[in-house]
């Protein structure tokens, strides 16, 4: 290689390398900034939650919270309600999303708009609407009984979760050729039940889990519906604790984060358990 050629080669290869290293440093800087931005408040909160006993770190705040019968009651109630909401949301959204993709593709923007409405309309408006429509002197007095109010709350939660549930499922369906798979199943003799539960559901399972997880998080922390309908949910309990205790709210927040991350871990684990989803990664 002549000197000139060597110089040319060096110039051609060195410039992108230099650019790459600048880009790499910038990326790392942004990453570290992001980590600090999110992690520092959490670390601070966790550290604060351990300070209940003077002069030493302890899990006293956690013990107090976990032993509080009200925590156990409200947390169990909200977990049950979130499971009901997930089931309700899936029963509503999965067939609707499939139907829109197969039969009413032109209606997709309309459906998407409708599913976004809960983000635009304040929860308090929906809650007052419910109270007005279903109070004890209305044609359907659902607030007249505990079961009725619970059902009403589950419907309210399902409405709140609609944007997340619909998007999660719709994203899952987007990875499939829903129309052709449905037709392939139909021509082999399958009915709608088989198509939804044997073909669509297993293929959007990870997406469904994401939707379920988001719904779970929303229901667990929701305050307005539960407070206005006077149900013993976890959201109002957290607010009440926040107003009356010092260290326990931080402990509660850490517990809530742990549950959330646990859910995320479970979603990733579930994704690995289904071999057919490996191809999509």
Partner 1 sequence: MPYLTINHLEKSFGPTRVVKDFNLSVEKGEFISLLGPSGCGKTTVLRIVAGFEEPSAGSVQIDGRDVTNLRPNQRNIGMVFQAYALFPNLTVAQNVGFGLKIAGVGRAEAAERVTDMLRLIGLPDLGARYPFQLSGGQQQRVALARALAPKPRVLLLDEPLSALDAKIRVSLRQEIRQIQQQLGITTIFVTHDQEEALSMSDRVVVMNGGIAEQIGSPFDIYNRPATPFVAGFVGSHTGFDAEVINPAAGIVAIDGAQLALSQQLTAPKGTIIRLALRPEAARLGRAEGRETILKGRVAQVQFMGSIIRLSTMVGDTALTLDTFNRPDTPPPPVGTEVEISVAARDFIILDAAGNGIAQRQTAEAERLV
Binding site for partner 1 (CB under 8 A): 176-177, 180-181, 183-191, 194, 199, 202-203, 274-276, 278-279
Cβ 182 to partner 1, closest distance in Å? 9
90: how many CB neighbours lie within 10 A of its CB? 18
Residue nearer to partner 1 on the CB measure, 54 or 281 = 281
CB 95 to partner 1: min, Å: 17
Q: Indicate the Cα dihedral angle 254, 255, 258, 259, nearest 10°.
A: -140
Nearer to partner 1, 42 or 269 (CB): 269
**Structure tokens, 121:** 């309309």
Least Cβ distance, residue 198 to partner 1 (angstroms): 8
Residue 69 or residue 191: which is nearer to partner 1 going by CB? 191
Closer to partner 1 by Cβ: residue 19 or 280: 280
DSSP the chain: --HHHHHHHHHHHHHHHHHHHHHHHHHHHHHHHHHHHHHHHHHHHHHHHT-SSTTS--SHHHHHHHH-HHHHHHHHHHHHHHHHHHHHHHHHHHHHHHHHHHT-GGGHHHHHHHHHHHHHS-HHHHHHHHHHHSSTTSSS-GGGSHHHHHHHHHHHHHHHHHHHHHHHHHHHHHTS-HHHHHHHHHHTT--HHHIIIIIIHHHTHHHHHHHHHHHHHHHHH--HHHHHTT---HHHHHHHHHHH-SSHHHHHHHHHHHHHHHHHHHHHHHHHH-GGGGGG-
Nearest distance in Å: CB 190, partner 1: 5
Give the shortest CB-103-to-partner 1 separation in angstroms. Answer: 12
Q: Which residue has the tokens 């089931």?
A: 87
Q: Rounded to an integer, what distance in angstroms lies between the CA atom of residue 137 and that of residue 78?
A: 28
Least distance to partner 1 from the beta carbon of 177, Å? 6
Q: Which is nearer to partner 1, 123 or 181 (by Cβ)?
A: 181
Min CB(72)–partner 1 separation in Å: 39
Closer to partner 1 by CB, 73 or 181: give it: 181
Report the residue number, 116 or 190, with the smaller CB distance to partner 1: 190
- Beta carbon of residue 98, minimum distance to partner 1 (angstroms, whole number): 15
Residue 61, judged by CB atoms within 10 A of its CB (0-12, 13-18, 19+), counts as buried
Token pair, residue 242, equals 């926040």
Q: Which is nearer to partner 1, 14 or 177 (CB)?
A: 177
């Amino acid at each position: 290689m002549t000197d000139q050629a060597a110089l040319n080669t060096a110039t051609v290869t060195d410039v992108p390398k230099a650019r790459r290293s600048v880009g790499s440093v910038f990326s790392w800087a942004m990453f570290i900034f992001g980590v600090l931005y999110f992690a520092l408040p959490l670390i601070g909160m966790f550290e604060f939650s351990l300070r209940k006993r003077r002069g030493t770190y302890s899990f006293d705040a956690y013990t107090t919270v976990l032993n509080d019968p009200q925590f156990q009651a409200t947390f169990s109630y909200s977990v049950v309600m979130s499971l009901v909401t997930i089931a309700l949301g899936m029963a509503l959204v999965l067939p609707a999303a499939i139907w829109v993709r197969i039969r009413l593709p032109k209606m997709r923007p309309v459906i998407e708009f409708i599913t976004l409405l809960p983000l635009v309309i304040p929860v308090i408006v929906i809650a007052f609407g419910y109270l007005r429509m279903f109070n004890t002197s209305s044609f359907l007095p659902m607030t007249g009984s505990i079961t009725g109010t619970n059902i009403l709350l589950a419907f309210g939660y399902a409405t709140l979760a609609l944007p997340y549930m619909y998007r999660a499922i719709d994203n899952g369906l987007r990875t499939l050729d829903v129309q052709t798979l449905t037709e392939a199943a139909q021509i082999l003799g399958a009915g709608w039940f088989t198509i939804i539960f044997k073909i669509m559901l297993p293929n959007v399972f990870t997406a469904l889990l994401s939707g379920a997880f988001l719904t779970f998080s929303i229901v667990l922390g929701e305050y307005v519906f539960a407070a206005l309908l006077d149900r013993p949910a976890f959201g109002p309990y957290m607010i009440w604790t926040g107003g009356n205790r010092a260290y326990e709210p931080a402990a509660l927040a850490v517990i809530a984060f742990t549950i959330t991350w646990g859910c995320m871990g479970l979603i990733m684990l579930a994704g690995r358990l289904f071999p057919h989803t490996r191809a999509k990664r």
